[in-house]
Amino acid sequence: MGALFLSIPMWGVTRVIAMVAPLLLAVAMTGTVSALTDGRTHPEPTEDGASERAYDFQQGAWWCLIAAACASVVLCAAVVSLVSPSWVLGWAGVLVATTPPVLRMSLHFVGLTGAPHRLAASGGPGGPMLGDRRATDAQTTVGREAPDTSGCHDVRVLDLNTSELCRLWRVTFWMVRDVRSPARTVAVVDLRQAVLDELERRRPDAVRCWLMSGRGEADGPARYL
């Protein structure tokens, strides 16, 4: 900090601000990324019980890419400011362009609809949204489109083996957290109830031991079956 103030008499306030601006933008964009992604760092269970962070890592990578691009623009403006005082207008434009509301509108304009924290998790623009990605996993597990009515759930879960039921239980745990539609939420909850009923019908003792163990719902009863 002392060196910063000592450099002002040598380079002038304008140039010092221009050199520090990229660092300030990096800090600001870090906070923006955290806010727009809702600070999501929860692990997701997999078949072998390991923590899967692919979704959150990929969505964070896209926001970090945006932040790096913005910081590069500001760095270029800072370099130009060393030889031209017209940097003020460019700096003001960058500040406006990197505000969260403008970023949200830009993403919506290019087709990335939905909340920014649901940025495409598998390939960026044009890919499935984060919540839809988990829904796609559930559809793949069941082998057909996700059911919309509870009347279909019992029929569908009967076609699955025990391992597939456990996998579907874990996938739908995160789907309940991510879906935004009340009707979709009810459908997923009904599906989870159907899965639990079917597991209990097949292995009542194992399901009872799992429930008595107090383990998190996200783990599922696979290790007890």
Q: What is the pLDDT of residue 133?
A: 43
Closest to 219 in 3D by CA, of 176, 167, 178, 161: 167
* Beta bridge pairs of residue 52: 44
Q: What is the pLDDT of residue 132?
A: 43
pLDDT (tens digit, 9 = 90+) per residue, 84-113?
A: 555 556 666 776 677 666 666 766 665 544
Based on the fold, state whether residues 12 and 86 are members of the same structural domain: yes
Q: Which domain holds residue 210?
A: 130-224
The tokens of 222 are what? 């696979």
Which of 70, 96, 118 terminates a domain? The answer is: 118
Residue 218 CB contacts under 8 Å (≥ 6 apart), including other chains: 44, 45, 170, 173, 174
The tokens of 55 are what? 């979704």
139: left (phi over 0), alpha (psi -120 to 50) or beta: alpha
Based on the fold, state whether residues 56 and 138 are members of the same structural domain: no
Which of 92, 118, 144 terminates a domain? The answer is: 118
| Residue entry with tokens 């009810």 | 186
Which of 52, 84, 118 terminates a domain? The answer is: 118
Q: What is the pTM of this model?
A: 0.34
Q: What's the number of domains the chain is made of?
A: 2
According to DSSP, residue 194 is labeled H
Q: What is the pLDDT of residue 131?
A: 41
For the chain, what's the residue count?
A: 225
Residues of the chain with pLDDT under 70: 1-92, 95-96, 99-104, 106-155, 215-219
Query: Does a structural domain hold residue 83?
Result: yes
Query: Does a structural domain hold residue 125?
Result: no
Based on the fold, state whether residues 17 and 41 are members of the same structural domain: yes
Query: Does a structural domain hold residue 124?
Result: no
Based on the fold, state whether residues 158 and 93 are members of the same structural domain: no
Closest to 78 in 3D by CA, of 88, 68, 69, 63: 88
- What whole-number distance in Å separates Cα of residue 163 and Cα of residue 118? 29
Q: What is the pLDDT of residue 5?
A: 57
- What whole-number distance in Å separates Cα of residue 170 and Cα of residue 176? 10
Q: Check: CB of residue 135 under 8 Å from CB of residue 148.
A: no
Based on the fold, state whether residues 30 and 100 are members of the same structural domain: yes
Based on the fold, state whether residues 18 and 113 are members of the same structural domain: yes
Query: Does a structural domain hold residue 68?
Result: yes
Q: What is the pLDDT of residue 187?
A: 86
